[in-house]
Amino acid sequence: MKVLHIETGRQLAGGPLQVITLMKGMRENGQESMLLCPQDSAIARVAKQAELPVTTVAYQGEHDVSLVRAIRRTARSEGVEILHAHSRRGADLYTAFVARRTRIPAILTRRVINMENALIGGIKYRSYQRVVAVSEAVERSLKRQRVDASLRTVIHDGVDFSDFDKPYPRQKYLEEFGLPENAVIAANVGRFTENKSQLSVLQAFTLIYEALPRLHLVLFGSGEMQDDLEDFVIANKLEGRVHFAGFRNDMPNWYAAMDMLVHTASLEALSVSLLEASANAVPMIAYNNGGIYEIIRHTFNGLLVQPRAVDQLAHAIERLYRKPDMRKKMGATAKDYCEKFFTAEQMVSKYQELYTQVLSELE
């Protein structure tokens, strides 16, 4: 069995990272797969570093129909038996078109909750043998869009615990960001976008930082909202307490020394950064939306607050700041929960079972 993965995202966000994790797991299990992605994209670079088979295309965006030819040509020349589309941005629609024309069975992984145009969505989804939701929340959104129950299935994202076997010591934070020895480190990880809502964690920080002198906030990431976030920090005189870490290729190494992860996305299907924090025994705070509750059980392995409720967010941060024993207990529970439900091995196994099932249905 040979699977062609199609991923058109250029940034190395959670979705593309999951594609890499899946392909590595398939390779370890002796199953062939290859990646089709945009040239000069971050996922192409990472896949090549991992020595995974990659074909790149000069893809210009979701209106670039040349992707149809690239998928069809690659599938035929490589003897592909299953097409697996992993993103929007044209990959889902163009893979569906190729599947209909070539009769190669296809699977789509859906990572977002937002509703689509009913006509386009209906045509697209009927071209797939399965539509995989990365969370129960996504599966419910597919149900609302009237995607047939026989097509829908849930496979949660998973993390490879071996990615975290070289954690940076706490001293790395102190030296990199000039933090005091007794700092309590709250971190946020993600693209600086309006949906990720890093501004809300800064707003929450302004409500509590004077009363919590050891609290420091480290923001990992970059993006279109960076100037706005930096302006807010300067305007509120937070320069010594809020630290911009930028995008890090070595992000897995930074989790272990965090005291808490504060996740502020306004709507999210699931969150790879929360899974990565869990794998490193880091307690979490997040807005309760989308599929976040599938990772965080309130007061069990983290704290959930109402979306956009900045005062509740501030209170949750203060609560973990003042209760190190709670942080330790929640962190340990988070790791156990992740090992039970969100490992890469589980994810890879479920996809491989799905590939086999889809092919058997066509016999």
Query: Given this model, what pLDDT does residue 173 score?
Result: 93
Q: Using DSSP, state whether 325 is helix, strand or coil.
A: helix
Query: Given this model, what pLDDT does residue 12 score?
Result: 82
- What residues of the chain score a pLDDT lower than 70? 118-119
What are the residue ranges of CATH 3.40.50.2000 in the chain? Answer: 2-158+343-361, 161-341
Q: Using DSSP, state whether 12 is helix, strand or coil.
A: coil
Number of Cα atoms under 13 Å in the Cβ half of residue 267:
8
Q: pLDDT tens digits, residue range 242-296?
A: 999 999 989 999 999 999 999 999 999 999 999 999 999 999 999 999 999 999 9
Number of neighbours of residue 61 by Cβ within 10 angstroms: 11
Instruction: Judge: domain 2-158+343-361, CATH 1.10.1530.10.
Output: no
Query: Given this model, what pLDDT does residue 356 score?
Result: 97
Query: Given this model, what pLDDT does residue 88 score?
Result: 78
Q: What is the pTM of this model?
A: 0.93
Report how far apart the first and last C-alpha atoms of the chain are (Å, whole number).
14
In Å, how far are 134, 194, 213, 269 from 187, measured between CA atoms?
24, 18, 16, 21
304-320 b/e (C-beta count within 10 Å ≥ 16 → b) = bbebeebebbbbbbbeb
Q: Which CATH architecture has domain 161-341?
A: 3-Layer(aba) Sandwich (3.40)
Give dist(CA 216, CA 165) in Å, integer: 25
